[in-house]
């Protein structure tokens, strides 16, 4: 979860690819906070445009937040997170919309798949309390009781996670072709 929102499902050590190799597009699931919002994929109502980094920045500016730093450079997501930590109401509201929507979608995903755990990574997942509390609220609103104790943990690979995963997948595919 950063400039976009992606996902993957791992079953017994294997990534589930789906019949079009498109499984895991969590960012393109419908959520209640995004009704009517156009998405880059051409559909409307998807998670990504309201919950990824650019959506947080856009919302912050829409609410009247100051779009630039003192030296005039445009703000980024990390700056909005710092402002949220300093109780900037617009920053808190922008992060809360993202967190709530992500929590809601994760609740839906867990209702369907009942995974052992959910691993979050990327810059958005590193947002502070305003984002995290909203995420937990969205999660509890959406998730069914029997799966509501599914652990939601932070990834340990940081910003390199997509590259490491892609490299591992390429190596595994190459070995599979040899054997």
List residues binding Zn ion (CB under 5 A): 28, 39, 41, 43, 46
Nearest Cα neighbor of 52 from 91, 8, 98 is 98
Shortest Cβ 38–Zn ion spacing (Å): 9
CB of 8 to Zn ion, least distance (A): 17
Tokens of 58: 């856009």
Pairing between β-strand 118-120 and β-strand 10-11 as defined by DSSP bridges: unpaired
| Nearest-10 crossing angle of helices 89-113, 77-85 | 110
CA distance 101 to 165: 25
Answer whether 36's CB lies under 8 Å from 45's CB: yes
Shortest distance in whole angstroms from residue 39 CB to Zn ion: 3
Which C-beta is closer to Zn ion: that of 4 or that of 103?
A: 4
CA distances (Å), origin 28, targets 36, 46, 89: 13, 5, 28
Nearer to Zn ion, 47 or 92 (CB): 47
CB of 60 to Zn ion, least distance (A): 21
């Amino acid at each position: 979860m950063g400039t976009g929102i992606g996902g993957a499902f791992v079953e017994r050590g294997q990534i589930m690819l789906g019949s079009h190799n498109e499984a895991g597009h969590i960012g393109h699931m419908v959520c209640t906070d995004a009704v009517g919002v156009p998405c880059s994929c051409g559909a409307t109502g998807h998670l990504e445009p309201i919950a990824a980094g650019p959506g947080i920045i856009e919302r912050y500016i829409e609410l009247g937040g100051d779009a630039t730093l003192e030296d005039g450079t445009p703000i980024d997501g990390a700056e909005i997170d710092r402002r949220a930590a300093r109780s900037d109401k617009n920053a808190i509201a922008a992060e809360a919309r993202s967190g709530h929507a992500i929590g809601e979608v994760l609740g839906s995903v867990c209702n369907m798949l009942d995974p052992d755990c959910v691993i979050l990574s990327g810059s958005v997942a590193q947002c502070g309390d305003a984002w995290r509390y909203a995420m937990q609220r969205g999660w509890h609103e959406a998730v069914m009781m029997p799966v509501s104790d599914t652990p939601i943990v932070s990834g340990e690979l940081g910003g390199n996670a997509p590259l490491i995963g892609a490299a591992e997948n390429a190596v595994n595919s190459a070995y599979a072709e040899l054997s």
